[in-house]
Amino acid sequence: IWGTSTSSFQIEGAAAEGGRVPSVWDTFCRIPGKVVNGDHGDIACDHYHRYREDIALMKQLGFRYYRFSVAWPRIIPAPGVVNEEGVEFYSRLLDEVEQAGLTPMLTLFHWDLPQWLQDMGGWTNREVLEHFRLYASTLMDRFGHRISWWNTINEPYCASILGYGTGEHAPGHQNWYEAFTAAHHLLICHGIAMDLHREKGLSGQIGITLNMEHVDAASASDEDIAAAARRDGFLNRWFAEPVFHGRYPEDMIAWYGEHVRGMDFVQEGDLERIHQPGDFLGINYYARCVVKAAANDSLLQLEQIKFTEPVTDLGWEIHPDSLYKLLKHVEQNYTKGLPIFITENGAAMKDELVEGEVQDTGRQQYIHDHLAACHRFIQEGGQLKGYYVWSFLDNFEWAFGYSKRFGIIYVDYATQQRTPKQSAHWMSRVIAANALEQ
């Protein structure tokens, strides 16, 4: 399965159209210093108005699978209220997707929580569960017959840890107890979506997407190895273990101590609900992480080694072999034969439009090498079933605003003109051949 991936807030724009209400990201963007250049999602890639053109471009390049997310604030603008105009937008989008012969993967939550929910405490308030139930149930009722791939939650780590712990993402809080509470509620929402899908007798496949890293210790010292285990526990195991094993990692609960207050946010039945691996695991992979122990005041008491090359424009180390290692590890420890999808992989690069072309050789090489890592895993019997490149369009890269370009399509934000980059033409050939060329 060769696909491409986007998310609602990052591309749609039309922030105040079609009955959409503000999301936490609309609010966060307005706080000075939170987003580079004070960028926001009001217009973004104007996909809300240009979706026909965008889908046509996907088709033209030969993509057959498209992963996108729905904006919760377009569907549920106030507690208990369904906005038909929002539903109709996605219905028209799906018409286009279907006519182009593309198979959609619909992500229920990719970080744009309605601001009205944040005003009630957002992901830290357990009431979010019932509001999510109405939202997810509405989408399944309206689109259940048209969607064969459902993604429940995209990267619960980011919405919880970055949103409520480090404060880098909306809503920008810095409180570890809130972060772990939010993470738990996000995971329960995965379980709620799984329950709804089953209760409604839908035939499509459903699964969660986790952002995962292969973690290496900077040295063979006991301290560094323990630091690597903590990073793995923080980013990977805290999310994968509840979904696949029905428990939180004991070593991390002990390490977090007061920050999880005896895990008092976990109620009876929660872990059973979360413990639903579903039909597949989506993995978003970008870089590996190398850490060393450090007696600093960080939560994990470690330092991440910064590499100067090879890195992407975000400074993320390019290390495709770690994707192979991660896939092996995930299959052995979690999925055990359940299908895996790379639901995101790609690179931010300093692209320039010169005489109508973008020569993004670095991105092409990045994708090539990561596909080669996937191929190696598959050849050894690994159950990797698909690859969705991140991203189709240059878009709003969260706290980095529009300063970082991830697309295989260049977007000129002043004119909204789309230009397929060299990597897009190359991917088009890979898809047509169903094989990697050099």
The residues annotated as belonging to the active site are 155, 344
How far is it, in rounded angstroms, from Cα 20 to Cα 295? 46
Q: By rule CB under 6 A, what string of x and - marks binding of each residue 257-286 to ligand IFM?
A: ---------------------------x--
Nearer to ligand IFM, 217 or 347 (CB): 347
Q: Which is nearer to ligand IFM, 124 or 395 (CB)?
A: 395
Size of the site for ligand IFM (CB under 6 A): 8
> Which of residues 397, 402, 408, 418 is near ligand IFM by CB under 6 A?
397
Alpha-carbon span 196 to 357, nearest angstrom: 46
198 contact partners, CB below 8 Å, separation of at least 6: none
φ/ψ of residue 310, rounded to 5:
-75, 130
Neighbouring residues of 223: CB distance < 8 A, sequence distance ≥ 6: 292, 293
* 209 counts as binding ligand IFM under rule CB under 6 A: no
Out of 7, 115, 322, 423, the only residue in the binding site for ligand IFM (CB under 6 A) is 7
The verdict on 390 binding ligand IFM (CB under 6 A) reads: yes
Least Å distance, CB 284 to ligand IFM, is 5
Q: Which is nearer to ligand IFM, 132 or 406 (CB)?
A: 406
Rule CB under 6 A: say whether 344 interacts with ligand IFM: yes
By CB under 6 A, is residue 236 in contact with ligand IFM?
Answer: no
Give the integer Cα–Cα distance in Å for 104 and 379. 27
Q: Give helix 422-433 / helix 361-379 axis angle, nearest 10°.
A: 30
Given the structure tokens 């619909």, which residue do they identify? 106
Site mask for ligand IFM (CB under 6 A), range 282-321, x = bound = --x-------------------------------------
Q: How far is the CB of 348 from ligand IFM (least distance, A)?
A: 7
Q: In this structure, are strands 289-293 and 302-304 parallel, antiparallel, or unpaired? A: antiparallel
Q: Which two tokens stand for residue 88?
A: 């109709």
176-199 and 238-245 are packed helices; what angle lies between their axes, rounded to 10 degrees? 30
The answer to the question of residue 107 lying near ligand IFM (CB under 6 A) is: no
Nearest distance, CB of residue 79 and ligand IFM, angstroms? 27
59: its two tokens: 């088709």
Binding to ligand IFM in span 148-167, by CB under 6 A: 155
Q: Considering beta carbons, is residue 35 or 229 the nearer one to ligand IFM?
A: 35
Q: Could you tell me the CA-to-CA distances from 272 to 3, 187, 242 in Å, in that order?
A: 32, 11, 9
Closest of 18, 181, 175 to residue 88, by C-alpha: 18
Start-to-end C-alpha separation, the chain = 20
What token pair was written down for 134? 């109405």
Residue among 46 and 112 whose Cβ is closer to ligand IFM: 112
C-alpha distance from residue 310 to each of 197, 347, 351, 359, 406 (Å): 42, 12, 16, 18, 17
Least distance to ligand IFM, CB of residue 327, Å: 17
Nearer to ligand IFM, 270 or 394 (CB): 394
Q: How far is the CB of 226 from ligand IFM (least distance, A)?
A: 28
CB of 207 to ligand IFM, least distance (A): 16
Which residue, among 354, 370, 369, 358, has the nearest Cα to 409 in the 3D structure? Answer: 358
Rg of the chain in Å (alpha carbons): 20
83/107 with CB nearer ligand IFM = 107
Which residues contact ligand IFM by CB under 6 A? Answer: 7, 10, 155, 284, 344, 390, 397, 406
